[in-house]
Amino acid sequence: MSKDIRIRKGLNINLVGAAEQTTSKAVTSNVYALNLDDFHGITPKMLVKQGEEVKAGEPLFYNKNKEEMHFVSPVSGELVEIVRGARRRILSLKILADKTQNYVINKVPELDAADGQVIKDFLLQCGGWPFIKQRPYDVIADPDMTPKAIFVSAYTTAPLAADADYILKDKEKELQTAVTALSKLTPGKIHVSIGKSSRSAFANVNGIELHRISGPHPAGLVGTQINKIDPVNKGEVVWTISPQDMVLLGELFLTGKFNAERTVALAGSVVKAPKYYTTKIGAEISTFLYASGVTEERYRLINGDVLTGAKTNTEGYLGFYNNTVTAIPEGDDYELFGWTKPVFNKISTTRALTFSWMMPNKKYDLDTNTNGEHRAFVVTGQYEEVFPMDIYPLQLLKACMVKDLDEMEQLGLYEVAPEDFSLTEFVCISKQPHQQIIREGLDLLQKELG
Amino acid sequence: MKDKLHQLKLKYQGKKMAPAFGAFHTFLYTPNETTHSGAHVRGADDLKRTMNTVIMALVPCLLFGMFNAGYQHYSAINGFPESFSLMDDFLTWKNFLVGITTILPLVIVSYGIGLGIEFLFAVIKGHEVEEGYLVTGMLVPLIVPVDTPLWMLAIAVAFGVVIGKEVFGGTGMNILNPALTIRAFLFFAYPTWMSGDKVWVHGAVERAGTPDAISGETILGSLAQGSDYSYSLSDMFYGFIPGSVGETSTFLILLGALFLMFSKIASWRIIISGVIGSLAMGLIFNGIVDAGWLPEYSKFYTLMSFPYWQHLLVGGLAFGIVFMATDPVTGSQTNRGKWIYGFLIGFLSVMIRVFNPGYPEGVFLAILLMNVFAPTIDHYVVRGNIKKRLRRLKTATIYPKASDEVDSLKTETA
C-alpha cells in the first residue's frame, strides 16, 4: 500500500520547450569526459596514465580519502587528456572512444546470499558507488556509514527536467535488482516517491516503501520527500540515488557490465525540436544538441535543469549525474524601466504589477537575466511560500553566511542540499546566491564536524 | 541611448563614482546582469519593484494630504463649510496650491538630503546605491506636521539616515525603522513643533499671537484634554481632519493596505494582527470605563471611553500599522513572529496613546519599541523549531561507523 504525501508550498516554473516524449539515438560521441566538479569533495588519485588504454568500466582514479572507491571509465578507449587547473588540480579526464566498445566484465556476487559488505565492496570496486549520495552534506556516500534509510525520487517537478516515468519505462527488472541490492545496505527502508497518478515502473517493484506524492515543485526533490517522510537528525545518515542511476546499478548486477548508457532530455526554448536522446555519461553535448537544432546564436547551455544545473557550452560533456540538458536564451540586455513596468512575460510570486498569478498554466520563455541587482536580505516571508520543509530558510541562510556552526546545526542544515534552495533562490528579491551559500555552509560543517 | 549608457558604464567601471552612475543607470534600465551560480533563471521582482509598489500605495495619501492641508488651512480661517461638497470644498486648486507649496518642499528636502547621504555612503563604501530610502523618503513627509521647518526636517533626515541606518551597514541591516527614527528625533528635539494645537494647520504657527490667530487640534489632542471635537465619523474615516500630512485618511490607507496585501509586498499577518491588537486594547479600556472602575474626573477618562474601533480612524495608528510596522527589515521575520509583533504594536499604540500625558499618540513609539523586540520574538519562534528538532533527535537511529571500533581501540591503547 502506498502512502500519500501532499506538498502545498512551492512553485511550478512552466517553461517553453519541454522535451517531447520520443527518444532518438544520439550520434556516437568521439570523445567522452568526466568532469571532476561533479564529484564534490573528492580528491582524485589517478590509476591510469595519459595515453593509456582503458576498457569501459575500468577504474580511472580512486578517492584519495577512501582508496576502495573507484571511478570508472564510461567507455573503452584511450585516456587522451588529463585537464588540469590551478595547482595542478584535475578538472576533467577525456577519453577518445574505441570504435567497438570493450567492457570489463565484473564477477557479480550472488544477490540473495550476499550480505551488505559484499554488495558494498562490489559497488566500490566497479564504479557503481559514486551514484549513491548521502545527507548530511550532499556528497558521495561514505561507505563506512550505515544509512537509516535510502530515498529515491521518481517524481519530476523541476522545470523541463527529464520525466522519470518516461525514462524508467520497461526498466522494471533493473530497478528490482537494484532495490534488492541496495536493501542489503540499510537496516531501514528504501523509500521511493512517485507521482500521485503516475504509472511508474516502481509501482510493481518489491521491497520498497512506495509514496505517492503530489504538489508543485519542489515536491519532486528528494530533500523535500526526506523532510516529509523521515527527516535527518544530527548523527543520522540517509542515502539518496536517482532512479536512472539505479537502472545502471541494476544492469551492473545483472550483467556485470558498467553500461554508461542513459536517456537524456534535451529541452529549453532555444532548442528547435526538444526530445529525448539515448547517449552515454560524458558524451559530447553537441552530438545530440545539433540533431535537434537551435534557434539562436547566443544561448545558455545547462548541464541539468534550469534551477540546479551547471553552466556549460557547446564543447561541453554530459555530466555524471545528469539526464537533462537545457538551452535557454541569454539575458544580457538592458530593459527600459524594467523595475517598474507591468510584467507579463516573467514569473513572479508577488503581484506587484507582475501578472503571472493570473496565468498559472501559461508557459514562459525565461532568459538568464537576474531581473535586478544583488542586495542585502530585505523582504521576509517570501521564501517560506515556496519552501515546504519544516525549516526556517532565511534564518538558515543567514547562519551559513555568518558561519555560526551551532545555529546551522540546530536549524537543520543536515537535512538540506543546495538544490533544496534553488526555488528560494529563484524567487529571491535580493538576488542572493542561495545554493552557493548552502554549499559553503555544508562544506564548512563537514570540515569542522564531519 | 541604451548603447551610449552601456559605453558610459564600462568607462566608469571600477571608478569611484560608479555607484552613483549605476544608480541612475539602473533607474532607467534593468541591468544586463546574468546569472552566474545557482539557478539560471530568476523571478521577475527586484528590490526596486518592491519599493516602488509601496510608493504607489503611498501616493494617494500624499495627494490627499496636499488637498487636506489647504482645506484645513482655509477652514480654520473661514470656518468649516456647512454643507460639505467634495468637489467644491475639498478638491480645489486653492487647497492644492497650499498643499503643493507646503508639502512638496518637505518631499524634496526628505529625498534630497536622504538620497544625498545614501549616494555619499555608496561612493565611499563602494557599494551600489540601495533602494531602501525610496520608501523612507516618501514616508517622512507624510508623518510630520505640515508646517515643519525645512531645516529641522533636513537635520532629522540626516540623523535618521546616518544613525538609524548607515552605521548598521545600510539597507537591510538597520534595527530601527529609519522613517520613525527621523520622526522620533523630531519629536524629542523639537517637541513644540510636533505637538500642541498650532502645528497641524498650515499657517497656525506664524499667526499665533496675532489677531488672525487660527488653531486646529487633532482629535486625539482634544480627547487628551477632555474636550470635545466637532468632526463626524465620516470626516474621520475619509480624513477631513487635522493631523500629520498623510495619516488622516483611513479610507485611502485602507485602499493602500488592500493593494499591498494583495500584491504580497506587505505582510497581511502584521496588518491584520495590528488591527486586532489595537481593537483588543481599546476594548479593554472601554471595558474598564463601562465597569465603572474609572472616575469621570480622571484625566484618562475621555480617551479611555473613546469607542475602541474609532482609534483606528484617528491619529496615525492605521498609517503606522500599514506602512511602517510592515517594514520587513525592522519587523519580525518569521510568520508566527509577525502575528505577535503586529498584535503588540496595535496593543501598545493604543495604550501609549491613552496614558502618555504629553503627547496623545503612541504609534511611532510602539513600532520603535517593537522594532527592538522583533529579533527577540523571532528568536523564540525559531527556538520552537529547534526544540522540535531536538525532540526528534531522541528517537534518532544512528548506526555506528564501521571504523569506530578500531578508532576507539586506538585511543585506548595510545
Question: Does A116 touch chain B if contact means CB atoms closer than 8 Å?
Answer: no
A358 belongs to a structural domain: no
Q: How many cross-chain Cβ pairs, A to B, lie less than 8 Å apart? A: 253
pLDDT at A10: 93
Q: What is the mean pLDDT of residues B36-65?
A: 91
**More confidently predicted of B3 and A244:** A244
A209 shares a domain with A179: yes
**Can you give the residue range of the structural domain that contains B369?**
267-414
Contacts of B175 in chain A (CB under 8 A): none
A123 shares a domain with A206: yes
Number of separate domains in chain B: 1
Query: What ipTM, to 2 d.p.?
Result: 0.89
Going by their DSSP bridges, the two strands A59-63 and A90-97 should be labelled as unpaired
For residue A270, the domain's CATH number is 3.10.20.600
B209 belongs to a structural domain: no
pTM of the model: 0.91
- Provide the total of helices (H) and of strands (E) in chain B, helices listed first: 18, 1
Contacts 24+ apart (CB under 8 A), A379-382: A379/A429, A379/A430, A379/B47, A379/B50, A379/B265, A379/B328, A380/B267, A380/B328, A380/B331, A380/B332, A380/B333, A380/B334, A381/B267, A381/B269, A381/B328, A381/B333, A381/B335, A381/B338, A382/A349, A382/A350, A382/A427, A382/A428, A382/A429, A382/B264
A54 belongs to a structural domain: yes
Spatial separation of the C-alpha atoms in residues B320 and A241, rounded to whole Å: 52
**Can you give the residue range of the structural domain that contains A321?**
20-27+263-329
pLDDT at B402: 66
Nearest by CB: A372 against B48, B53, B392: B48
**Residue contact B399–A346, C-beta within 8 A:** no
A277 shares a domain with A189: no
B256 belongs to a structural domain: no
- How far lies B254's CA from each of A87, A213, A279, B317, B381, in Å? 63, 41, 60, 12, 29
pLDDT in tens, A407-432: 999 999 999 999 999 999 999 999 99
Please compute, for residue B285, the number of CA atoms within 13 A of its CA located in the half-sphere on the CB side: 27
Number of separate domains in chain A: 4
A314 shares a domain with A198: no
Q: Nearest to residue B41, comparing CAs of A131, A219, A364, A93? A: A364
B294 belongs to a structural domain: yes
- Report whether A145 contacts A212 (CB < 8 A): no
Q: Residue A152: in which H helix or E strand, if any?
A: strand A149-154
Question: Does A227 touch chain B if contact means CB atoms closer than 8 Å?
Answer: no
**Residue contact B31–A334, C-beta within 8 A:** yes
A388 belongs to a structural domain: yes
A364 belongs to a structural domain: no
Spatial separation of the C-alpha atoms in residues A131 and A133, rounded to whole Å: 6
**Residue contact A352–B264, C-beta within 8 A:** yes
Spatial separation of the C-alpha atoms in residues A150 and B328, rounded to whole Å: 40
A220 shares a domain with A124: yes
pLDDT in tens, A27-80: 999 999 999 999 998 999 999 999 999 999 999 999 999 999 999 999 999 999
A148 shares a domain with A243: yes
Asked if the model's pLDDT at residue B162 lies above 80, the reply is yes
Spatial separation of the C-alpha atoms in residues B127 and B112, rounded to whole Å: 20
Cα-flanking dihedrals φ and ψ of residue A39, to 5°?
-105, 85
Contacts of A303 in chain B (CB under 8 A): none
B202 belongs to a structural domain: no
A238 shares a domain with A126: yes
**Residue contact A369–B44, C-beta within 8 A:** no
A240 belongs to a structural domain: yes
Mutation target among A350, A389, A401, A449 for the B interface, most CBs of B within 10 A: A350
Spatial separation of the C-alpha atoms in residues A389 and B388, rounded to whole Å: 13
A276 shares a domain with A240: no
The helix/strand/coil state of A90 is strand
pLDDT at A1: 52
Burial class from Cβ neighbours inside 10 Å (0-12, 13-18, 19+) for residue A111 reads: middle
Asked if the model's pLDDT at residue B112 lies above 60, the reply is yes
Q: What angle do CA B336, A420, A343 make, to 5 degrees?
A: 80
Share of chain A above pLDDT 90, in %: 78
Asked if the model's pLDDT at residue B413 lies above 50, the reply is no
Residue that finishes a domain, picked among A305, A329, A353: A329
Chain A nearest CA to B373, separation (Å): 17
Instruction: Tell me the three cell numbers of residue A2.
Output: 502506498
Asked if the model's pLDDT at residue B319 lies above 70, the reply is yes
Nearest by CB: A339 against B30, B332, B400: B30
Residue-averaged pLDDT of chain A: 92
For residue A222, the domain's CATH number is 3.40.50
A216 shares a domain with A119: yes
Spatial separation of the C-alpha atoms in residues A241 and B110, rounded to whole Å: 58
For residue A39, the domain's CATH number is 2.40.50
Residue A341 CB partners (closer than 8 Å, separation 6+): A353
Question: Does A312 touch chain B if contact means CB atoms closer than 8 Å?
Answer: no
A268 shares a domain with A380: no
A221 shares a domain with A269: no
Compute how many other C-beta atoms are within 10 angstroms of the C-beta atom of residue B78: 9
Residue that finishes a domain, picked among A223, A255, A287: A255
Question: Does B225 touch chain A if contact means CB atoms closer than 8 Å?
Answer: no
A357 belongs to a structural domain: no
Residue that finishes a domain, picked among A58, A76, A97: A97
pLDDT at B404: 55
Contacts of B403 in chain A (CB under 8 A): 144
A111 shares a domain with A194: yes
Sheet architecture: strand order including A31-35:
A31-35, A90-97, A77-84, A53-54
pLDDT at B403: 58
- Report whether B378 contacts B386 (CB < 8 A): no
B362 belongs to a structural domain: yes
